[in-house]
């Protein structure tokens, strides 16, 4: 199955190495200076594009965290939108550092991943200029991204905007008792600039 041009462009926009240096300098009280890696991996390639993502504080690049898999795929039969389905590695530690050392991803297989059923985004495309787009990814209505990690019940609110040179992350951790955000893009998105294209 050939991939649509829309899906291919989204994958190209998302793949890369990013950081939010400008934002962290302008507002250090609210935004940690982070490095973000989103590397293509050869999984589900028959109908989708798959990326491994992780991030690290710029002052501690040897201790990356939030290892996750993003599968970019077409929507359902009657849905013109793209979707992003999230997965979690069953053993995140085995992939720790793969953002900087992608050879760790060479042997990754789909049976090493846990599907996160409620962790799905719908992606819409906006044309900014000829061959220049912005993709906006928002949670599917009436879904909740919840999973268990290290014995703890985790809830996350996901979302992003992506263009050729920027990636804005709206990801937030949610307190399951209060419904309030406890980490992440509490005051607005993390605004990453692409430093390297993968």
Domain boundaries, the chain: 5-197
Give the model's pLDDT for residue 77: 66
Q: How far apart are the first and last CA of the chain?
A: 23
Which of 40, 31, 39 is closest to 58 using CA atoms? 31
Cβ atoms within 10 Å, residue 86: 22
Per-residue pLDDT of 54-104, as tens digits, reads 999 999 999 999 999 999 999 876 667 899 999 999 999 999 999 999 999
pLDDT at 1 over 60: no
Which of 194, 198, 191 is closest to 33 using CA atoms? 191
Mean pLDDT of 34-47: 94
pTM above 0.85, yes or no: yes
Helix, strand, coil percent values for the chain (each to nearest 5): 15, 50, 35
Candidate CATH numbers 1.10.8.60, 2.40.128.590, 3.40.50.300, 1.10.3720.10; the one for domain 5-197 = 2.40.128.590
Per-residue pLDDT of 141-196, as tens digits, reads 888 898 887 777 889 999 999 999 999 999 999 988 888 999 999 999 999 999 99
Unique residue bearing structure tokens 């050869």: 42
């Amino acid at each position: 199955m050939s991939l649509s041009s829309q899906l291919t462009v989204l994958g190209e926009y998302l793949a890369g190495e990013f950081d939010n240096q400008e934002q962290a300098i302008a507002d250090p009280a609210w935004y940690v200076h982070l490095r973000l890696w989103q590397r293509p991996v050869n999984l589900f390639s028959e109908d989708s594009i798959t990326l491994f993502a992780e991030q690290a504080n710029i002052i501690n690049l040897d201790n990356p965290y939030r290892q996750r898999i993003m599968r970019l795929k077409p929507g359902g039969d009657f849905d013109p939108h793209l979707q992003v389905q999230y997965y979690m590695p069953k053993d995140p530690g085995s992939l720790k550092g793969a953002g900087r050392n992608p050879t760790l991803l060479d042997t990754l297989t789909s049976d090493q991943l846990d599907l996160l059923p409620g962790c799905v985004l719908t992606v819409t495309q906006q044309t900014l200029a000829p061959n220049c787009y912005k993709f906006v990814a928002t949670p599917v209505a009436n879904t909740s991204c919840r999973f268990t990690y290290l014995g703890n019940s985790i809830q996350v609110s996901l979302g992003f905007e992506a263009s050729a040179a920027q990636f804005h992350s709206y990801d937030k951790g949610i307190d399951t008792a209060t419904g309030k955000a406890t980490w992440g893009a509490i005051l607005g998105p993390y605004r990453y600039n692409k430093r390297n294209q993968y």
